[in-house]
Structure 1
Amino acid sequence: MLCCFSFNCFSQDDEKLNFEVVKDSTFLKPYTIDPLAPSKAAYYSAILPGLGQIYNKKYWKVPIVYAGMGASIYYYTWNNKKYHEYRDAYKDKLAGRTPPGELANLDEDRLIRAQKFHQKNRDLSMLITIGLYILNIVEANVNAHLMQFNVNENLSLRPKLQQNEIDNKHNMVLSLSYQF
């Protein structure tokens, strides 16, 4: 016997009305889906990093966003400062002046290598900052999408260990069950 169930979705002010089966009852409980939530979360995160996570009510992610971006910005400024120190010391050596501090003992080759090292790390820190900013936006968008999925006890996917009846070996099985 084949049974087909059909539910109509009604549109109310850009919101779709869906239904969820309430446990231990025979009626359906409506819940709403906001199709603009992912774009709002991404927009808020683009304006101010972490704001999309606040919009999604995932407050624990905000310190992670700021710690990652803050650390990469700190390393960018530190490497930029060191780069300029070594560059100025190299310019002083070329002009015949003695560089200040401990940089006076370094030869021109070491000053050039130090410049390249800090320039490379400065640029890498900037790329990491930009990558974390983009990751922040994508994470807020994906999280807002995933919050709209209907995840309840009626639908489950569980791994099981099942014994084969022919040769008595155990096989790993994924069991997909849906309860009406």
Structure 2
Amino acid sequence: MPKFFLFFILISFLSPIAHAQIFDKTETGRIDTTKKKLPGRSLSGSFAPKIDPLREKIYHPDSSHIPHKAVMRSLMIPGWGQVYNHRWWKVPLIYGGLGLLTSAIIYNQHQYKEYLTISRYRQGDPPSPGAPYYDKYILFRDYQVSDARLSDVRENSRRNRDLSIMGFLAVWGIQAIDAYIDAKFLHSYSVDNNLSLRATPGVINQQAYAQDVSFKYIPGIKITCSF
């Protein structure tokens, strides 16, 4: 009796599996088990979503913009790559930054040269009237500015000059990279012509901490943008 009961359970378990298979006898006599074709699947088993031709996105990349040309022009002349990419508003920013850094380079170089000349006057023969930076030399002597203090301001001017030069080169390189990125974007991507904006009314469910209020749902607006 227990054996018959176990045999009955085994037969009941295997029956749905046996009925789910569809046997197809081929010419070679082999049994081919096929699955029911699901909606939205191709013969290879991969999903093949249906695309509405009216909603299909249309892209128009600008093949006339070459990133190599943009970066090379910016390396030769700052802002030329931005003009090539039609980003005219960036040119004043680039030259504004380069102009400020150029003025800082000139000012700190002048200060460094002045303090260096005065230091050499102190280490050698005093200058005669009419020599370069003679008035500044007399002023430092009258105010008893020490050699150590003079050396500090001289090295500070040299450091600021070097930092200004590095900043100038950094801005030059950044604007070249910016021109390359803009050209790459224009060359590879574009904005779709089929832009749409749809607003639909809806309701928002209250959060768990706000369930004690008198109303469970609050009105809302759902905005869908298509790019």
Tell me what 1:140 maps to.
Answer: 179
2-structure distance, mates of 1:107, 1:30: 71
Identical amino acids, percent of aligned pairs: 21
1:94 Cα shift? Answer: 0.5
Greater strand proportion: 1
Pairing 1:1-180 to 2, within 5 Å after superposition: 1-2=39-40, 3-5=49-51, 31-34=60-63, 37-98=66-127, 100-104=134-138, 105=140, 106-147=145-186, 148-152=188-192, 154=195, 163-165=204-206, 167=208, 168=210, 178=226
1:5-56 deviations in Å (ceiling 9; x for gaps) = 5xxxxxxxxxxxxxxx8xxx67886734428622211111011100000000
Judging changes above 3 Å, is the alpha-carbon distance between structure 1 residues 164 and 26 closer, same or farther for their aligned structure 2 residues? closer
1:118-166 deviations in Å (ceiling 9; x for gaps) = 001000000000100000101111112223423335489xxxxx94455
Give me the CA root mean square deviation. Answer: 3.3
Gaps of 5+ in 1: 6-20, 157-161
Q: Which has the higher contact order (CA 8 A, sep 6+)?
A: 2
Gaps of 5+ in 2: 1-38, 41-48, 128-132, 198-202, 212-217
Judging changes above 3 Å, is the alpha-carbon distance between structure 1 residues 129 and 29 closer, same or farther for their aligned structure 2 residues? same
2-structure distance, mates of 1:30, 1:149: 7
Do 2:61 and 2:189's aligned partners in 1 also have CA atoms closer than 8 Å? no
3-state SS of the aligned residue for 1:91?
A: helix
1:81 Cα shift? Answer: 1.1
1:58 Cα shift? Answer: 0.9
Give me the TM-score of the superposition, normalised by structure 1.
0.70
Question: What is the aligned residue count?
Answer: 153
3-state SS of the aligned residue for 1:83?
A: helix
Indicate the structure (1 or 2) with the bigger Cα radius of gyration: 2
